[in-house]
Amino acid sequence: MKKRKPNIEIGHYRGSRYWGVWVDSELLAVVCYRKGAEAIKSALLSRSKPKL
């Protein structure tokens, strides 16, 4: 069975320093820095890769 890649989006809250991470249109986390949001996205994508 083939696993589908999750749809992960990062968005900035206007007028603040906060960034949101959404997975399949569901809010997963709110962080203070973009690098933190990108780290969460990268960790989720590395877990979703199939292992041989």
Contact yes or no for 29/21 (Cβ under 8 A): yes
pTM of the model: 0.79
Three-state SS at 13: coil
Q: What would the pLDDT profile of 3-47 be if each residue is shown by its tens digit?
A: 777 899 999 999 999 999 999 999 999 999 999 999 999 999 887
Q: Any idea which residue has 């249109």 for tokens?
A: 25
Residue 5: per-residue pLDDT: 78
Residue 48: per-residue pLDDT: 63
